[in-house]
Amino acid sequence: MTTRFEKARILGARTLQLSMGAPPTSGSNVTDPLLAAESEYYQNRIPLTVKRGR
């Protein structure tokens, strides 16, 4: 379970990657990087992990 802050950080990082030319992992033909990142997030296909510190 991710917090809303972690979700925002993940979506922001993935959106930046997609806007810079990274290949999307979802099969959709969405041209907007934010919508593509959200699609990947809800399909659990984003290749990023969250490491929590103590």
pLDDT of residue 12: 96
Which residue reads 């990657």 in tokens?
17
pLDDT of 6-53, one tens digit each? 999 999 999 999 999 999 987 778 899 999 999 999 999 988 888 888
User: End-to-end alpha-carbon separation of the chain, Å?
Assistant: 17
pLDDT of residue 37: 94
Q: Is 10 helix (H, G, I), strand (E, B) or coil?
A: helix
Q: Write down the domain spans for the chain.
A: 4-42
Tokens (6 digits) for 9: 């950080």
pLDDT of residue 28: 74
Tokens (6 digits) for 21: 């030319």
Whether pTM > 0.75 for this model: the answer is yes
pLDDT of residue 54: 77
Task: Specify the CATH class of 4-42 in words.
Answer: alpha beta
